[in-house]
Amino acid sequence: MRVKFKIYRYQPEVREEPYFDTFEFDAEPTDRILDGLNHIRWQLDGTLVLRRSCQHGICGSDAMRINGVNRLACKVLIGDVGARITIEPLMGFNVIKDLVVDMDDFFDQYRSVLPYMITEQPPPEAERLQSPAEQEVYDDTTKCILCAACTTACPSFWSNRDFVGPAAIVQAHRFIFDSRDEGTDERLEVLGERDGVWRCRTIFNCTEACPRDIKITRAIGEVKKAIALKGA
C-alpha cells in the first residue's frame, strides 16, 4: 500500500518554528509505524530524530501521538491506522527535537514517589516471601514501562505540569500495596500533597492511553482511598 506520513518536525538549529514534513512510500499493512519511521530515517531523511530501543513494546521509549492518540510506534500496524498517518510528539512536554521530548521532569516526578522497596527488616536467607493473594493486589501496576503515554494524555497534567501524573502514581501503587514494603506512609504523604493524586479528575484518558492495559484510574482511586483512610 502507498502511505503518507505527515511528521511534526522541530529542528531549532535550522528553523526556529516547528513545521510538518510529509513522506510518501510503499509499505505493507503488517509493517509497524516504527518500521515506517525507520524507513524514512534510513532511506529518505536521516535528520529525522526519534527515540526507540527494544522495538517490542518493552522499553517504552517510542511513545508518540499517532493520528492524535498516544501509542507506542512499535506496537501499531500501519494497516490498522490507514494510509494517511500523522505523527507528533507527546503533548505536555517540551520538544527537544522532532519527536524527542524532554522527560527530565517526568523522571523527577517518578523519583518523588520513592519507587523502590523500603524495609527495615534484615535480609532473609532467600526471597522475601508473600502469598499469591498478596501479590495479586498490586500485580497490575508492576506492568508499567514508564512510557509516559498516560501522563501526557491527561488534561490535568496539561494544565498543571507540577501534577505528579498518572505514571508516577502507578509506580507508587506498585509499592504502596506490596505487603513487604514499609514506605507507604512516606509515599502517601507525597501523593497527598497539593500536586499529588487529588489533581486527578477521573477523566480516564490515562487508562485509554496505556499500552500495557493497566487499570490506571482504578489504581489512582485505590491510592486516593488509602490517603483518605490514613487521615480518617
Binding site for ligand FES (CB under 6 A): 52-55, 57-62, 72, 74
Smallest separation (angstroms) from ligand FES to the CB of 52: 4
Phi-psi map region of 52: left, alpha, beta (phi>0 left; psi -120 to 50 alpha): beta
The candidate with the shortest Cα–Cα distance to 10, out of 106, 89, 70, is 89
Please say which residue, 37 or 210, places its beta carbon nearer to ligand SF4. Answer: 210
The pairing of strands 19-26 and 95-97 is unpaired
The C-alpha atoms of residue 42 and residue 66 are separated, in whole angstroms, by 20
Smallest separation (angstroms) from ligand FES to the CB of 160: 27
Q: Are 213 and 205 in contact (CB under 8 A)?
A: no
Please say which residue, 114 or 146, places its beta carbon nearer to ligand SF4. Answer: 146
Say whether residue 101 binds ligand SF4 (CB under 6 A): no
CA distances from 127 to 94, 130, 176, 180 (A): 42, 9, 19, 11
Please say which residue, 84 or 218, places its beta carbon nearer to ligand SF4. Answer: 218
Of positions 216, 220, 223, 226, contacts ligand SF4 by CB under 6 A: 216
Q: Are 108 and 168 in contact (CB under 8 A)?
A: no
Q: How many residues does the chain have?
A: 232
Smallest separation (angstroms) from ligand SF4 to the CB of 20: 26
Say whether residue 149 binds ligand SF4 (CB under 6 A): yes
What the block records as the C-alpha cell of 32 is 509497524
Mask for 31-70, x = binds ligand SF4 (CB under 6 A)? -----------------------------x----------
Say whether residue 210 binds ligand SF4 (CB under 6 A): yes
Cell 499529588 sits on residue: 196
Which among 12-20, 30-38, 122-130, 165-173 is the span making contact with ligand SF4, rule CB under 6 A? 165-173
Q: How far is CA 189 from the centre of its chain?
A: 23
Residue type, 211: P
The C-alpha atoms of residue 156 and residue 83 are separated, in whole angstroms, by 32
Say whether residue 212 binds ligand SF4 (CB under 6 A): yes
The C-alpha atoms of residue 67 and residue 65 are separated, in whole angstroms, by 6
Smallest separation (angstroms) from ligand SF4 to the CB of 8: 20
Sign of CA dihedral 210, 68, 61, 1: positive
Of positions 33, 48, 145, 197, contacts ligand SF4 by CB under 6 A: 145
Contact partner, 167, from ligand SF4, ligand FES, none, Cβ < 5-8 Å per class: ligand SF4
Instruction: Give contact residues for ligand SF4 (rule: CB under 6 A).
Output: 60, 144-150, 166-167, 170, 209-210, 212, 214, 216
